[in-house]
Amino acid sequence: MLNIVLFGPPGAGKGTQSENLIRKYGLVHLSTGDIFRANIKGQTELGILAKSFMDKGELVPDHVTISMLEQEVHKHSNPEGFIFDGFPRTSAQANALDAFLAKKHTTVHAMLALEVSEEELRERLLNRAKTSGRADDANVEVIQKRIDVYNRETAPVASYYKNQNKYHRIDGLGDITVISERLFDAVNTAVTQS
Ligand code: AMP
């Protein structure tokens, strides 16, 4: 199996680049943001709860997010691997992910961290709001809150993977296909090392 964590602040390009990684490596895409949005659309109990946090730019509580992700992981009995997009976002989530994967006798092979300046993120998110229909992209205060939450709660998760020699910093600025090539190079390096 090949398991990749795609990491980076909101607007770094995780969704776009996930598509290219899936195409290249045949992985199962698990985006916690997408799963929450599907639940909001379906008006499930989980969706109603998640929405109350997402609308404010806050993280959905760990116990809710972790149990939802665990169920998704176990839905796939024999996958080529997973790409985790937008998860883990806290240290507790990173620990939980290792535990789920250990149950499947596997692990995270690489953490790919897309780096983009805050100014560029703000611009990209406001631009995305024109087509995404996402309320959390359209409001400058919510955008800033998401960036602040990322810096405070999520950015430290990089150390967790640095300590395991799984961290790969990727310049997230430039042409989409050029960024994809950077990601593929990092995956290939990780696969050779593991
Ligand atoms: P995203 O689509 O990754 O930008 O996520 C949109 C929103 O969903 C975030 O601002 C959070 O409110 C929520 N969310 C997504 N993934 C997580 C996660 N791993 N932990 C907590 N909240 C999350």
Residues 38-90: tens digit of each pLDDT: 999 999 999 999 999 999 999 999 999 999 999 999 899 889 999 999 999 99
Task: Say if residues 153 and 89 touch (Cβ distance below 8 Å).
Answer: yes
Q: How far is the CA of 124 from the centre of ligand 1 (A)?
A: 17
For ligand 1, atom 19, which residue shows the shortest CA distance?
Answer: 87
pLDDT per residue as tens digits for the range 150-174: 999 999 999 999 999 999 999 999 9
Provide φ and ψ at 170, rounded to 5°. Answer: -120, 125
Query: What's the CA gap between 164 and 118, in Å, rounded?
Result: 27
Q: Choosing from 56, 104, 122, 128, which is the catalytic residue?
A: 128
Nearest 10 degrees: Cα torsion 27, 32, 38, 42: 130
Distances (CA, A) of 63 to 31, 68, 138: 17, 9, 28
Q: Is 37 in the pocket of ligand 1 (CB under 6 A)?
A: no
pLDDT per residue as tens digits for the range 95-115: 999 999 999 999 999 999 999
Q: Looking at domain 2-184, which CATH architecture does it have? A: 3-Layer(aba) Sandwich (3.40)
Give 193's pLDDT tier (boundaries 50, 70, 90): confident
Active site residue 152: no
What is the model's pLDDT at position 77?
A: 86
Q: Where are the domains of the chain?
A: 2-184
Q: Is residue 106 left, alpha or beta, with left meaning phi > 0 and alpha meaning psi from -120 to 50?
A: beta
Task: Say if residues 40 and 101 touch (Cβ distance below 8 Å).
Answer: no
Above 90 in pLDDT, residue 20?
A: yes
Query: What's the CA gap between 168 and 39, in Å, rounded?
Result: 32
